[in-house]
Amino acid sequence: MVRRKVLISGAGIAGPTLGFWLARHGFAATVVETSPEPRPGGQAVDLRGAGRTVVERMGLLSAVRDVRVDERGLANVDARGRRRSSMPADAFGGEGIVAEIEVARGDLARVLYDATRSAVEYRFADRIVALTQDATGVAVRFASGADERFDLVVGADGVYSAVRELAFGPHERFVQPLGGYTSYFTVPDPGDLDGWLLMYNAPGGRVATIRPARDGTAQASLAFRSARLRYDRQDRRAQEQLLRSTFAGVGWRVPTLLSAMADASDFYFDAFCQVHLDSWTAGRVALIGDAAYCSSPLSGLGTSLAMVGAYVLAGELAASEGEPGPAFARYHTVMRDYVRQCQQLPPGGIKGYAPNSSLMIRMRDLSMNMMTRWPMRPMIAAQFTKADSIDLPDYPVRRPVS
């Protein structure tokens, strides 16, 4: 096989996973990333189902376990910190709301980067600004001014994918808001979490959480229901002010979280949304991960989707000797039902996550306490088992990644 050159945009989770498998299949993989280095911190993500199987096949499960967060479960609390409902991490065989393997997104990205940097070329502090396709390849222009030609280009660059915008069209055609916004940021460990993710709901569809992390820190989140808002995605100060005004007067630990927010180096704010496309490929350009089929944090399946999609795309490209037509067709065939299932939101969607009234908050707490009992248990288990609802092909590899 001619050693095909593949350019991947994005060094988060999907991009390095794709680079790993492409290198194993004999491709020359290059990852371009806008940040100057692998991004640290970020929200906790769970590794479950087929996503965990992909990590096992990469030989990285032990490395991921070494950086996982030791969480005992999720507890919903009232304004005084008293528990109203809870679900331990071992519920549903370790595949419940809090999975058996929870890891900070930045830590998982670092594991993937360390496993691939000797076999995959990384170009940090750069990005794709133009793509021109023809029958044999893709001409790429980078923000640095460089021009280069690749056989294939893959967008693994998130919900607001630059590759998708260049090759498929504007974000508004594909990004579907779900009626709310969320933020994540690292805060000092308060010292009393005892391994539990604590969640507080306030009337008005407002949600505050804090969960244990590693190295003397914790991860906080502030989320709220809202119609679509106009704001600058690059203006952090305005986003922080929006959160302060939205959560003004909310009790529990919220004032402390708002105070710590300004010092966080990994502040993130965005809408709850999903990404839907009729096709994840266009000519010699393909999309994976959130760029192709973001399921939203409400589903808890984004990491599995990203890693499985990368594994399947690389395997199908290898099976077709790098020819995009048959590989992309098979990629759609293998992934379509899995994506559809993973994008199905839990019962209630954002309304269940962020109830508007005190009555609905109490009803949700009652519902959570019943989740591990009949008749609710089978229905809830079906949501968690979606992460494993794909028969992963076994693609033979050409070489190890060292």
**225-252: average pLDDT:** 95
pLDDT value at position 193? 95
pLDDT value at position 252? 97
Q: Which residues contact 146 (CB under 8 A, 6 or more apart)?
A: 126
**165-191: average pLDDT:** 96
Query: For residue 250, what are its two tokens?
Result: 């909310």
Query: For residue 236, what are its two tokens?
Result: 């952090």
Percentage with pLDDT > 90 across the chain: 74
Asked if residue 126 has pLDDT above 80, the reply is yes
Q: Are 105 and 118 in contact (CB under 8 A)?
A: no
**DSSP-derived pairing of the beta strands 28-33 and 281-282:** unpaired
Q: Are 274 and 294 in contact (CB under 8 A)?
A: yes
**Torsion 89-90-94-97 (CA) sign:** negative
Q: In sequence order, what DSSP letters do the residues of 257-292 get, joined into one string?
A: HHHHHTT-TT-EEEEEEEE--S-SEETTEEE-THHH
Query: For residue 343, what are its two tokens?
Result: 């994008």
pLDDT value at position 380? 60
Range 5-69+103-174+274-346: architecture per CATH: 3-Layer(bba) Sandwich (3.50)
pTM confidence score = 0.92
Q: Return left, alpha or beta for 21; rule: phi > 0 is left, psi -120 to 50 is alpha, else beta.
A: alpha
Q: Are 180 and 228 in contact (CB under 8 A)?
A: no
pLDDT tens track for 44-92: 788 888 999 999 999 999 999 999 888 888 999 999 999 998 888 777 6
Confidence at 402, pLDDT banded by 50, 70, 90: very low
